[in-house]
Amino acid sequence: MSDISPEDLLGILQKHKDFLGKFAELLDESYVLYDLDGEPMTPRMWGEYFSITVPESPGPQDLIMAQSRATQLLDTAMFYYAHSQLVADLFDESASTKNDQAFSALVAQFRAEKKRLPSVDTLRAIANANNEDLVGSKATAVARFNFWKAIVKKLEKQMKMLEEARWTLGIEAKLAGNR
C-alpha cells in the first residue's frame, strides 16, 4: 500500500464528494417518476409538490391548514410508497423465480449433455446474467421504493413538527391568558 498524505487523501475525498454532488443534481433534474396521470416528474418536481409552507410567525389557523395539507400529502405519498413496494416485491419474486428456472435449466442441460457440472456459483452467475433486464428493473423498482420511503419519512417528520408547534402556541396562549 502506498503512503498517502492526509492532504492528498482529503483532496481525493473532496473530488469524490464533488462528483457525487453533481451526480445528485443531475439525478434531481433528469430521473423521472410518473404521477397517477402518467405525467413525468423529476425528484425535484416531486420535492416541490410535497413541500409545505408555513408563514414566518404562524397562528393556530395557519398550523391547522398546514397540518391538513401535510395529511393530504402524506396520504398521497403513502399510496406511491405502497405501490412502489408492491412493484419492487413483484420484481424481486419474478427475478428469483426466473433465476431459479434458469439455474434448473442449466443443470438439466449439463446433465443431458453428460458434461461435468460447474460450481453452484458459476451456474448462478450464468443464470443471473441471462436475466440482466429483470435485475435492472428490480434495481429501478428498489430505487423508487427508497425515494417514496424518504418522502414519507420527511412528511411524517414535518407533521410532528407542526403538531409540536400547535402545542407550543396553545401553551403560550394559555400562559398569556393566565397573566
Residues 72 and 101 sit within 8 Å (Cβ to Cβ): no
**pLDDT digit string (tens) for 35-60?**
878 898 998 899 899 999 888 888 88
Sort 130 into a burial class: Cβ within 10 Å, 0-12 / 13-18 / 19+: middle
For residue 158, pLDDT beyond 90: yes
Helix (H) or strand (E) holding 38: none
Alpha helices by DSSP H, listed for 113-131, are: 120-129
Q: How many CB atoms lie within 10 A of CB 95?
A: 20
More confident residue, 1 or 35: 35
**Residue 139 identity:** A
Looking at residue 179, what is its pLDDT?
65
